[in-house]
Structure 1
Amino acid sequence: MDVSVVCPVFNTDPTLLQAAIRSVLNQSGSHSLELILVDDASTNASTCSMLVDIGKSDARVRVIYQGRNTGPGQARAAGVSQAVHEWIGFIDSDDLWPSDKLNQADRILRDSPDTRWVAGSHVILRSDGERQPKLLSQLCSSEEAGKVSYCLTTPALTKALISDMPPLGASLIRKSLFLESGGFDRRLLYGEDWLFYLRLSTREPMQFSDYRSYVLRRQHASMMWSAGSMSRKFLRSAQIARRDPALKFIRRELRWFYYATLKGLAMNNAINNRKIKALFFAAKALFIDPRELREFTTFVRALMTNGKALDDGLRGYSTADQIDLTRVVRERQ
């Protein structure tokens, strides 16, 4: 395959960055590769030094420097604009490509040569072990069982991507298709990859295989401590999707995704002791579904009082949210 791999970098630990780079450059098989590292205005001296060194030591690596920090979406877009190969791949600077990723993609293309979007499964690697997310191949019919890959199409694919989106690094996309689909929405700081996937799925089927194509490293159990996961900016992609005419056919599903995102924002702000913001997002969720008044009342009680036990109203929250909200109360006792 002829692949340009785009990797946004911002103050990444050099050890993790080195591992990510090697996982791309050391792919098994014979492939034409270029790795485009987009430095998103890093300030860490060790990261900056490593970018200079790697750019000089391997002809397959190019380093692009952003004048200011713009976020991973715009950094990726800058990298794609410089890509020279037919296929575009992505990797985050602290993640990994399995060594046979491109060989497996080649196998799919031999079986389905007109494919423009290839994707595989991914694994989430945490300090407490691995987790295998739900596979998109579950969308396939029994008649397709045993095939090299499965052709997933809208509307089923688009609906599945709302809540079960694979990381960008699990996909390989022809550059022509990336450009036709409009690329990443430059208005977004968060969720630009999610919105890109939804829009892409309305234009092109995904050729999916169960082979492991990406390793997503998570240093923490969740994004609950991220500033972005506590602000309105985290809602922007869902708001844009709900107004997109091309996504009108999933408006109902997007409404409930927006609702779930509001509850997640309320929870993250509660965990971080931002009471006013937590109440704001919880109230917005209640406005969408007034039937959740009991759960809202429980949330407010847990947020605003010390030492009171949670009641059965927590059943409206996910198991993870129940655990987190219980911890909020205990920490305040």
Structure 2
Amino acid sequence: MTTISVVIPAYNAEKTILETINSVILQTFSNWEIIVINDGSEDKTLEVLQTIKDNRLKVFSYENSGVSGARNRGITHATGEFISFLDADDLWTSDKLELQLSALQAHPEAGVAYSWTYSINETGEPLEPFAPVYAGNVYADLLKANFLTSGSNPLIKRAAINSVGDFDKNLTGSEDWDYWLRLANKWQFVVVPKYQILYRRSTSSNSFKLQKMRKTTLDALDKAMKLAPPELQYLKNESLSNIYKYMVELYIGSLNQNYQVDIRFVIDNLWNFIKNRPQVLKNIYTYKLIIKILLTIIISPKLMNQLLKYIRKRKSSKQSTSSVIMQP
């Protein structure tokens, strides 16, 4: 019996799908199957998939239904005791499945294992680390922010998947957060304290369609707060603040890819980040965001991009970031 099913939704993924699948093939744990849902691709995604000679790879083609629909279809084809989702442009370190499975086996009360994440750009350059340490009942922490970062992170017990049902196809941008919240409402989480997820941010991804991303994230929060118990309703303002902060961070992250966005939209997000949680004005990080936005306005996004590249290069050389995140 297959232990782990890896579900990969793929839409026009010809540029990245091979590298993504190779990161599964190179896993130190080998009892897995890959379920690729070709979600109406119009490029050479299928041709690329046909070059992979591994009988653990199964490809199913459908008309386009979006990432939630593709994941739901993948679940119906999956035979594993555990399921993990992997976006077609993200990557895993080679020990991701092994260590997450070990964590779940060591904590039978948990239904979900997740790891630390590094975001990367289109060329694979590391951008930002995310190293949360929440474990056990993480529902309240997850209401504040999606600390799993992406849909490519957790390993989930089949029983947990069955208990919450399908991804919500009405959410097109925050379906991951909604699904993790539904899992957290019923199951405990366990964390693998290691960078194992390489989450790619690209100008073609939903992460940089900022107006749409904000709307769908706010929609997901509204849904979540309607389901949350009365004693957790006070978390809404903190969650709102975190959403607006994330929009500002995504804009700053987009500068190195020449992504254009209305600066008034960015300022609106910065204002709402502070308005919904004024205590953030006590944090030095808030002032760093303000300074970055002001510099972008004053010296232009292009020059700010060059400055951020220089800062990242200096930080990377000091911390040896690349060698850290790619350790097996």
Q: Which residue in the other structure is 2:12 paired with?
A: 11
Q: Is the 8 A contact 1:97 1:215 kept in 2?
A: yes
Q: Is the 8 A contact 2:145 2:242 kept in 1?
A: no
Task: Give the secondary-structure state (helix, strand or coil) at the position aligned to 2:169.
Answer: coil
Q: Which residue in the other structure is 1:204 paired with?
A: 187
Query: Which residue identity does 1:167 align to in structure 2?
Result: S
Superposed displacement of residue 83, structure 1: 1.1
User: Is residue 218 from structure 1 mapped to residue 201 from structure 2 by the alignment?
Assistant: yes
Q: CA RMSD in A?
A: 3.9
> What is the CA–CA distance in structure 2 between the aligned matches of 1:286 and 1:27, rounded to whole Å?
43
Q: Which residue in the other structure is 1:76 paired with?
A: 71
Q: Which residue in the other structure is 1:296 paired with?
A: none
Task: Give the secondary-structure state (helix, strand or coil) at the position aligned to 2:92.
Answer: coil
Q: Which residue in the other structure is 2:59 paired with?
A: 63
Q: Which residue in the other structure is 2:129 paired with?
A: 132
Task: Give the secondary-structure state (helix, strand or coil) at the position aligned to 1:116.
Answer: strand
Change (3 A) 1:228 1:65: farther
Change (3 A) 1:272 1:256: farther
Q: Which residue in the other structure is 2:27 paired with?
A: 27
Q: Is the 8 A contact 1:6 1:79 kept in 2?
A: yes
Q: Is the 8 A contact 1:190 1:228 kept in 2?
A: no
Q: Which residue in the other structure is 1:238 paired with?
A: 221
User: Is residue 250 from structure 1 mapped to residue 216 from structure 2 by the alignment?
Assistant: no
> What is the CA–CA distance in structure 2 between the aligned matches of 1:153 and 1:235, rounded to whole Å?
23
Q: Which residue in the other structure is 2:158 paired with?
A: 175
Task: Give the secondary-structure state (helix, strand or coil) at the position aligned to 2:209.
Answer: coil
Change (3 A) 1:85 1:318: farther
Q: Is the 8 A contact 2:109 2:188 kept in 1?
A: no
Task: Give the secondary-structure state (helix, strand or coil) at the position aligned to 1:37.
Answer: strand
Superposed displacement of residue 230, structure 1: 6.0
Q: Which residue in the other structure is 1:107 paired with?
A: 102
Task: Give the secondary-structure state (helix, strand or coil) at the position aligned to 2:19.
Answer: helix
> What is the CA–CA distance in structure 1 between the aligned matches of 2:242 and 2:107, rounded to whole Å?
37
Q: Which residue in the other structure is 1:297 paired with?
A: none
Query: Which residue identity does 1:253 align to in structure 2?
Result: L
Change (3 A) 1:134 1:63: same
> What is the CA–CA distance in structure 2 between the aligned matches of 1:121 and 1:65, rounded to whole Å?
32
Q: Is the 8 A contact 2:104 2:190 kept in 1?
A: no
> What is the CA–CA distance in structure 2 between the aligned matches of 1:323 and 1:283, rounded to whole Å?
14
Aligned residues: 291
Superposed displacement of residue 102, structure 1: 2.5
Q: Is the 8 A contact 1:266 1:280 kept in 2?
A: no
Work out which of the residue numbers 80, 88, 92 in structure 2 matches 1:85: 80
> What is the CA–CA distance in structure 2 between the aligned matches of 1:114 and 1:326, rounded to whole Å?
49
Task: Give the secondary-structure state (helix, strand or coil) at the position aligned to 2:75.
Answer: helix
% identical aligned pairs: 21
Task: Give the secondary-structure state (helix, strand or coil) at the position aligned to 1:42.
Answer: coil
Task: Give the secondary-structure state (helix, strand or coil) at the position aligned to 1:152.
Answer: coil
> What is the CA–CA distance in structure 2 between the aligned matches of 1:321 and 1:75, rounded to whole Å?
39
> What is the CA–CA distance in structure 1 between the aligned matches of 2:242 and 2:108, rounded to whole Å?
39
1:91-144 CA-partner distances (Å, limit 9, x unpaired): 1111112212232234334433454322222233345535431331xx5xxxxx
Q: Which residue in the other structure is 1:98 paired with?
A: 93
Superposed displacement of residue 188, structure 1: 0.2
Q: Is the 8 A contact 1:158 1:202 kept in 2?
A: no
Q: Is the 8 A contact 2:225 2:233 kept in 1?
A: yes
Q: Is the 8 A contact 2:113 2:189 kept in 1?
A: yes
1:138-173 CA-partner distances (Å, limit 9, x unpaired): x5xxxxxxxxxxx521455435x6252343322111
> What is the CA–CA distance in structure 2 between the aligned matches of 1:73 and 1:18, rounded to whole Å?
22
Q: Is the 8 A contact 1:162 1:198 kept in 2?
A: no
Change (3 A) 1:75 1:228: farther
> What is the CA–CA distance in structure 2 between the aligned matches of 1:287 and 1:209, rounded to whole Å?
34
1:171-221 CA-partner distances (Å, limit 9, x unpaired): 11112211212332221001111111122112111122213432223346x
> What is the CA–CA distance in structure 2 between the aligned matches of 1:273 and 1:26, rounded to whole Å?
38
Change (3 A) 1:130 1:66: same
> What is the CA–CA distance in structure 2 between the aligned matches of 1:238 and 1:111, rounded to whole Å?
32
Larger radius of gyration between Structure 1 and Structure 2 = 1
> What is the CA–CA distance in structure 2 between the aligned matches of 1:166 and 1:230, rounded to whole Å?
14
Q: Is the 8 A contact 2:9 2:87 kept in 1?
A: yes
Q: Is the 8 A contact 2:114 2:148 kept in 1?
A: no
Q: Unpaired runs of 5+ in structure 2? A: 252-258, 302-328
Work out which of the residue numbers 138, 142, 154 in structure 2 matches 1:158: 142
Change (3 A) 1:109 1:286: closer
Query: Which residue identity does 2:55 align to in structure 1?
Result: A
User: Is residue 123 from structure 1 mapped to residue 122 from structure 2 by the alignment?
Assistant: no
